[in-house]
A and B are shown apart, each in its own frame.
Chain A
Amino acid sequence: MGCRVGVDIGGTFTDFCVFDEDSGALHTLKVLSTPERPGEEVLAGLREIERRHGVTADQISYFTHGTTVGVNTVIQRKGINLCLFATEKFEDVLEVARLKMPDPYDLFSRRPVPLVTREKVFSIPGRMLFDGSEDMPLDEDAVRAAIAGVRAVDGEGIVVSLLHSYRNPDHERRVVEIVEREAPDLFVVSSHQVWPIIREYERTVTATVAGYVQPRVGYYLTSLQGALMDAGVTAVPMITKSNGGIMTAEAGKTRCAQMLLSGTASGVIGACQVARMADVDNALSLDVGGTSADVAVVRAGEPQYGVGEMIGEFPIHIPTVSVTSIGEGGGSIAWVDPHGVLKVGPESAGSNPGPACYGQGGERPTITDAFVVSGFLGAMGLGYGEVTMREDLARAAVGELAAVLSMSIEDTAEAIIKIAVSGMYLEVSKMVSRYGIDPRDMSLVAFGGAGPMLACHVARELNMRRIVVPLTPGVLSAFGGLIADIKNDFIQTVYLDLDDKTAAPIRDGFAAMSVEAMTWLREEQGYTGEATLLYSADMRYRGQSFEIDTMLRLSDIEDGDVAALAAAFHAEHERLYEHADAEAPIQVINLRLVVVGEPPKPELLPLAEATGEPEALHGIDIYADGGWHGAAIYRRDALRAGHRFQGPAVIAQDDCTTCVLGGFTVQVDTYGNLILEAED
């Protein structure tokens, strides 16, 4: 037995969640991130954990971590000088993308500048066809000429993406071989290696994002491995993935495309676990930090997956836990437009300078400042006592808008909150209509530094009756990493009509993929426990331009029961789109396989039972619904299972503050989650 450590490295803070397998205790910590010196914040955190909780490096039996280093590299455009080798006469694939513009009403709207601009794209003659046959052989001299071109632009790396390589990667492989032989110092990766899907733009942009960041991520992971080793941590470091799973840090060096959204994904994994512990089937997770607010759908305790999630300005098409951005977070700035209308966002004060109340030079009012003016925040420090709330600065910032609007400062603060929340309502509304779900039947799992602050307002706006605030809302991504499975996705494009003739190729395709999957799990990951294989296929009615990932039963695949495979698709189509056509011909575009290994999970202990009424620290005044109200403030670590009290109230803990509005009742459940229920 020992301690399991989950770490989530964000742009500003690095979060720790430590589970002591002997005592069952869960410890949390936040330290400042050190993006210039990767790994240093991890060591600093481990030292602090040792100081506070006596956990030494050799006691760490399990170590997972997520990082935003890849995403930040893209957002800040600090990746390598990358070149693209593309099929001749199709070199504009990144420039043209899918044509559609971000804002179709704006004559000035533009697609983002590609990570590889056109002068760094080189033509490769040679052509594969859709059926995998070679129409024109690869021109190897042209490959050598292209390498010379890369030298001429001081390129540091090459992405090779050729037409139909998802079906026949021979040309891509050969180009990689030539580059490795003739220019061994250049980094090179091919599109079929990263994620072999049909649709040239999607495959190329995914490979390009991966190639752009991979050397940076690889360097980072090597540094971290070294730092952990130096510190005496013997556990194999694992990293969290965009698909909600984990893999070894070593694997991440070559498969960094799979870990770009690991932080948001493992937050949702954490939220799913919380939902299961609180006996909630269907939920929306609400993750609000200083600079972003994200929502995800949890159905039957499981996250939803999708492709095309954005890394900065670019979509990446590997399977990812679906998360929808609904706003800019606690740092969103309030302002008044020329017509005297109060607006919130999209500009954000971010973490630097941050809200005015942080006293770091921010002068413009943010959502967080509005909560300070309303009295919800500021009675206690934040961030493990590192941030002191300056109410005077918050009032001054909000006061400037109040003067413009001729309203009181408190009413202005409340207006800021309500307008911000109505903007979140707008975004959540789109999302629920896209999924065809009704939030009124769901619970809201609120986390992130500002999620529990906003949760009651958001729930009220969406007519949601129940909120769950986990025990460690500020470090839920780190917690998610602790409980995540070892997991990998495999895909094979088959592009078949679903009929009796295709039963065999489907069966054979899955058989080959299972071999590949088990090799990954056993040999690459060194996992020896029980493995689960999940089979699905991207299917569609002929004529449709998008596919639905449909779960399939292994027995139907092995029996060649085409009718059962079709029925699974019809049912899924019906569930998503409210109609199906049993007569329509079906195409199977991709076979998919997910391999899952479940490492032993931490067994969280129930919280001690309450023996009396919860003890409020003291009374405070909060401003809500146009007036001042008395409210109690509680310390989270003083609450016990079974405690119950009414809002308005404030619950303070190191990593976050939960704001409970009047009309909500708080109940502490067995595991210490706060269950907030709206009264009728």
Chain B
Amino acid sequence: MAIDSVTLEILRNHCRAAAESMAFTLYRTAHSTFVKETEDFTTGLTTPDGETFATPTDLGATWFVGLNYKNVIDLIDHYEEGDICLTNDPYSGYVCTHSPDMHIWKPVFHAGEIICFVVGHIHNTDVGGAVPASLSRTLVEVHQEGIRIPPAKIMEKGELNEDVMSIMLANVRMPEQNWGDLKAQIAAMNTGERRVHEMIAKFGIETFKEGTAQLLDYAERQARAIVKDLPDGRYFFADYMDEDVVDGYPCRIALDVTIEGEEMVFDFTGSDPQIEGSVNIPTGGEVRHALIMVGLVYVLYSLDTRLFLNSGVSRVCSCILPSGTIVNPEFPAAVGLRTLSVTRLQAIIFGAFVQAAPDRLPASPASGGPIMNVNAIDNKTGRRVVASIDPIMGGAGGDPFADGADGSGANSSFMKNTPVEINEAEVPIRILRYGLLPGSGGPGLHRGGLATVLEFRAEAPNTRVTARNRDRTRFTSWGVRGGRAGTPSTFLLNPGKAGEVNLGNTDILTIGPGDEIRVASGGAGGWGNPFEREREAVLLDVRRGFVSLASAKDDYGVVIVDGAIDDAATSKQRAGRTGETSNQFYDYGEGREGFERLWTTANYAALTELLRALPVHWRFFVKHRVFEAVDALEDAARKGDGSEIRAIVADILENYPQLQISA
């Protein structure tokens, strides 16, 4: 039975209302401050097959639109009314993507039949394991990242399963918080279930069943129309994280997008091997994994914000995710800090699509700034304070229509900061500066958004500073179509003083009273030729302190004298630099250009091809040996055609007879 479009639209509003009501209920009743502060949770409704047909957009994380619960639904062999199931195991069905995320689902019955599931997750502050909060770059096995509950019933026919509960609570550091948050999740499931029953009463069971399926089709149809507008073709893009592990080597994710008609394929062959660290992205090689779909959802929604967000959107795409790579690690690789790599992955997807729609999409957003935490004893109260003081996100990329948003934006739009006055009241630190970093946005016809900068001084001894997800000190946010890259991110101890230390991508350190920290994200990339930027816009940026006089002249060709534009000098400065002067589509910035002089396209292709032939547990080891050898090469030996890499790998194979046995 086909449902008329009017009924479908009304049903759509009711389904959204159910998902939003679940989110508001969860948010309202959650116990932990973490959930309220970060909104790192989601709720939704899925078909009996696990496809999410309605998600909230007012509250919650933006990453789970395309989530499909089928794998975990199928891991429970029998459902009864009143059952609620949960899992936080990243390797059981690949719905959960790191151990702090507790996913939960409840079947909704009508006349003895499951007609949908209500679902959702909360990021718990801690689920046990080697370190508080369960996440660290130094962990290498998922076992270190806390207790893992494989799919299990936490409620059976409405009764709490005390056995599962007690095992879980015995293994976490703040059991009352986890239990409190789980109660909020259960309340949200019950809200969703009640709303589904109300919808069945209003619309009738057949209309509900058929309608929810059609809502997926509707989103798919909208997505197909957006894709159809993009030119067919192959669009390759790759980018790097600065370090695969602490003090390690760069890590590349490579993506080949093929658009054909209304559909596309994402091929990640060419991405680095899985990492002996915790930034792996656990996808299980699923054809449409939610974490891979995040970037696609951003792109399609930004191209048409009327897009209804549900799993139907991801049906336009299928993925090739080779096993043993960073985008499909093998058990038991650690995955806790996949936030860092997933953020980079999103911008890689943006980078591929901007080739397909250069006049409709922005340059790279800033990133690489951390979420800053401070752990210290308050001098006045003697109390230990553990506080998240600020996310240092940076702005959005310049786009075809306007400058990028400053300080935050694009795929970091959901984060909130903490007021300076609250930080100074709660945490034994003095904030010295908080705001935008002048000069950090990539120059462009439309400038990249400025970085965020924070400076503070510790007031107590043994102040532990955590800077989670540090990156982009070396590989900066790219500009596009003549727009330039943003500045690198920075992390300094005692800047401008004797003993200044460049902390690079350090993510944890201990400082003492009087020590000062300065942390800034990278700047976002610019869009279009900066020498064509309106003169008045450059002047305004100078007056706002966002661009220096020197940069106005050198990067934009605008000469400003005594606060006014010198038109003649400007025309001279700009002569020959307007129009399509650059033959480079992207500007990657000096860090990447320097790296790619050694690691040419051919060299990196040779590396990934050769590593692919090795057993998974050797790849990361060999990658590091190759990087060491490349660094040690004489300039004369650098050909850039892949030959030096082949020679190095041949040497390594010779030096490690064990590898030959394993191979």
Contacts and interface: CB of A to CB of B under 8 A. Distances in A.
A100 B405 contact: no
A91 B435 contact: yes
A104 B414 contact: yes
B470 interface: no
A425 B14 contact: yes
Interface string B74-115: 000000000000000000000000000000000000000000
A426 B10 CA distance: 10
Interface residues of B, number: 86
B305 A103 contact: yes
Interface string A578-593: 1100000000000000
A430 B17 CA distance: 7
Interface stretch (A58-66, A284-292, A414-422, A635-643): A414-422
Contacts of A111: 405
Contacts of B302: 105-108
Given A107-B298, A118-B544, A130-B425, A95 B413 contact: no
B417 A405 contact: no
Nearest to A546: B36
B58 interface: yes
Interface stretch (A196-204, A559-567, A602-610, A654-662): A196-204
Residue among A104, A164, A202, A544 with max Cβ neighbours from chain B (10 Å): A104
Contact of A107 (B8, B350, B406): B350
Contacts of A103: 305, 413
B309 interface: yes
Contact of B408 (A99, A405, A495, A544): A99
Most central of B22, B29, B225, B413 by chain A CB within 10 Å? B413
A434 interface: yes
Interface string B8-47: 1110011011101111110011010100110000000000
A434 B243 CA distance: 42
Contact of B28 (A99, A130, A576): A576
Contacts of B9: 341-343, 419, 422
A105 B301 contact: yes
Interface string A72-103: 00000000000000000111110110111101
Contacts of B260: none
A546 B27 CA distance: 13
Interface stretch (A294-302, A332-340, A356-364): A332-340
Interface string A400-438: 000001000000000100110011011001101110100
Nearest to A123: B545
Interface in B174-194: 180, 183, 187, 191
A545 interface: yes
Given A422-B13, A426-B13, A101 B408 contact: yes
Contact of B432 (A89, A104, A433): A89
B350 A92 contact: no
B541 to A, nearest CB: 9
Contacts of B37: 545
Contact of A198 (B180, B301, B362, B422): B422
Nearest to A432: B21
B625 interface: no
Contacts of B561: none
B546 interface: yes
A68 to B, nearest CB: 27
Contact of B405 (A101, A425, A579): A101
A168 B221 CA distance: 59
B10 A419 contact: yes
B280 to A, nearest CB: 26
B419 interface: yes
Nearest to A100: B416
A343 B57 CA distance: 18
A163 interface: yes
B436 A92 contact: yes
A429 B23 CA distance: 11
A566 B546 CA distance: 48
B410 interface: yes
A96 B413 contact: no
Contacts of A463: 198
B418 interface: yes
A118 B24 contact: no
A426 B544 contact: no
A151 interface: no
Interface of A: 89-93, 95-96, 98-101, 103-111, 117-119, 129-130, 163-164, 166, 198-202, 337-343, 405, 415, 418-419, 422-423, 425-426, 429-430, 432-434, 436, 463, 495, 543-546, 576-579
Closest 8 CB pairs of A and B: A92-B435, A101-B413, A433-B24, A429-B17, A422-B13, A118-B544, A89-B433, A104-B413
22 contacts: A93-B435, A96-B407, A101-B408, A105-B302, A107-B299, A110-B405, A111-B405, A117-B544, A118-B545, A118-B546, A119-B540, A130-B421, A201-B419, A339-B225, A405-B5, A423-B13, A425-B13, A429-B195, A433-B21, A433-B28, A544-B33, A545-B36
